[in-house]
Amino acid sequence: MEEKRITSVQNPRVKAVVALQQKSAERRRTGLFVVEGRREVEHCVAAGMEVKELFVCEEMEAWNGGAVATNMTVVTKDVYEKMAYRGGTEGVVAVVRGRERWLEELELGENPLIVVVERVEKPGNLGAILRSADAAGADAVIVCDALTDLYNPNLIRSSIGAVFTVPCVVCESEECIRFLKEHDIQILTAQLQDSHLYYDTDMKRGTAIVMGTESTGLTEVWRKAADAHIRIPMLGRLDSLNVSVSAAVLLFEAVRQRN
């Protein structure tokens, strides 16, 4: 079989990858997104996602493509640098078919641990939360009233592939609240007002830790739905932490209590 190879940055397939990297509208229209890096692609494949095309830079990576080798095209360094959203990604770029997951599809064990984020705008923050959720063994991350799509290249990069290893659902806040109540999962909202210190709160039972934006916090619908309001003590002059840092602190308190 003749080796598939691209040497021109003007190739239509190269332009298509660039469009997917740069435009969320194109990702929505096609149902496709881009993953960079061998490790991230391997996580993606392990999660059962469909790799439509795999591009490997001949001057940077000797990978044979593994399970997706039949979809592999060799590209020159110039072509790779045109397609890649960031540097240092090992010369591997994949086009992947997106997959939407629903709340009803979540497989929850006994006393599940879930992270809920409402209206988090920065993909880097959401990616970091997913990475912490993976490290803490969380059952799921639920993104409510999303302001960024799950397949934003910055999100995939900052999660280091955790967007594929942690079950992640996008839905509206009211839908999420109904789901949590139906499954008897307590709702703990992270907020400064009318709250208790997080380490004084029982997280051993089924728990959803709910985070809002750094600028405005959670909306009233979550404050009213909460079983308890929790806070991280702030001993300096500032009154808030980065949302991804806060999520990590609260997640590992749940891990501490459960072990």
Kindly report, residue by residue over 156-201, the tens digit of the pLDDT: 989 988 999 999 999 999 999 999 999 999 999 998 888 899 999 9
Enter the tokens of residue 68.
């997706």
Q: What's the CA gap between 114 and 180, in Å, rounded?
A: 10
Which architecture characterizes domain 5-97 according to CATH? 2-Layer Sandwich (3.30)
List, for residues 108-153, the tens digit of each pLDDT value: 989 999 999 999 889 999 999 999 999 999 999 999 998 888 999 9
Q: What's the CA gap between 81 and 77, in Å, rounded?
A: 6
Q: What's the CA gap between 50 and 33, in Å, rounded?
A: 11
All CATH 3.40.1280.10 domain ranges in the chain, comma separated: 103-258
pLDDT, position 1 = 37
List, for residues 58-84, the tens digit of each pLDDT value: 887 666 666 666 688 999 999 999 998
Give mean pLDDT, residues 3-24. Answer: 93
State the burial class of residue 88 (Cβ atoms within 10 Å of its Cβ: 0-12, 13-18, 19+): exposed
All CATH 3.30.1330.30 domain ranges in the chain, comma separated: 5-97
pLDDT, position 88 = 61
CB 142 within 8 A of CB 103: yes
Least confident of 43-57, 82-96, 142-156: 82-96
Assign residue 251 a region: left if phi > 0, alpha if psi is -120 to 50, beta otherwise?
A: alpha
Across the chain, mean pLDDT equals 91
Tell me: pLDDT of 37 over 60.
yes
pLDDT, position 2 = 46
Strand order in the sheet with 32-36: 5-6, 72-75, 50-57, 92-97, 32-36
CATH number of 103-258: 3.40.1280.10
